[in-house]
Amino acid sequence: MSVSLFYFVAFLTIFFALLVIFSKNPVHSVLYLIVTFFTFTLHYIMLNAQFLAIVNFIVYMGAIMVLFLFVLMLLNLNEGSIGSKSNLLKMVGVIAGMCLVITLVGSVKALNASDPLVLQTQDLGLVKNLGKVLFSKFLLPFEISSILLLSAMVGAVLLAKKDIKQG
């Protein structure tokens, strides 16, 4: 194992992220997004954040992707049913994104922070360690997030339900 594994996975991440936004068929976009999330899981494993790797795997690649695919197939959107923006607007969008990259990279360069990443404690991202922090220091936000999830569930049902008056 060497450093080149990181660069290989990073290349895959960027490659599939580009495919997500440039593929014509939205179903292909979702499938490429799943692969992108899988490469993110690989990144988490390499950072020894095992809990996040598992959660990323289950929540993103499981739940969220199933939601996306369901909605996409429910709406029956075929390839070409939605046109693309004009080439001028596409160019403007890409140039704006490149400007963002240049700005952020320039500010990082100004920081001069290039010390290598070192895992100081091997069990930093394990469930045991994170659970201790989550249920002591972050207990109140954890409880509040349960309320958030409940309200999101109620809101989603309310929004997706057909209006009775309009039939």
Among positions 31-50, residues that touch other proteins (CB under 8 A) are 33, 36-37, 40, 43-50
Q: Return the residues of window 115-154 that contact other proteins according to CB under 8 A.
A: 115-122, 124-125, 129-130, 133-134, 137-138, 141-142, 145, 148-149, 151-153
State the maximum Cα–Cα separation within the chain, in Å, rounded to a whole number: 63
Query: In angstroms, what is the minimal distance from the CB of 165 to other proteins?
Result: 14
Is residue 52 within a helix (H) or strand (E), and if so which, with residue range?
helix 50-55
Task: Tell me: does residue 78 bind other proteins (CB under 8 A).
Answer: no
Query: In angstroms, what is the minimal distance from the CB of 101 to other proteins?
Result: 5
Task: Tell me: does residue 57 bind other proteins (CB under 8 A).
Answer: no
Q: Count the residues of the shown chain that bind other proteins, applying the rule CB under 8 A.
A: 93
Q: Cβ of 10: how many Cβ atoms within 10 Å? A: 13
Taking the alpha carbons at both ends of the chain, their separation in whole angstroms is: 61
Task: Tell me: does residue 73 bind other proteins (CB under 8 A).
Answer: no
DSSP label at 163?
P
Tell me which of 110, 140, 162, 164 binds other proteins, using CB under 8 A.
Answer: 162
Tell me which of 12, 20, 35, 38 binds other proteins, using CB under 8 A.
Answer: 20
Query: In angstroms, what is the minimal distance from the CB of 23 to other proteins?
Result: 9
CA distances from 63 to 40, 56, 68, 147 (A): 16, 10, 9, 19
Rounded Cα gap, residues 57 and 73, in angstroms: 22
Q: Is 61 within 8 Å of 38 (Cβ atoms)?
A: yes
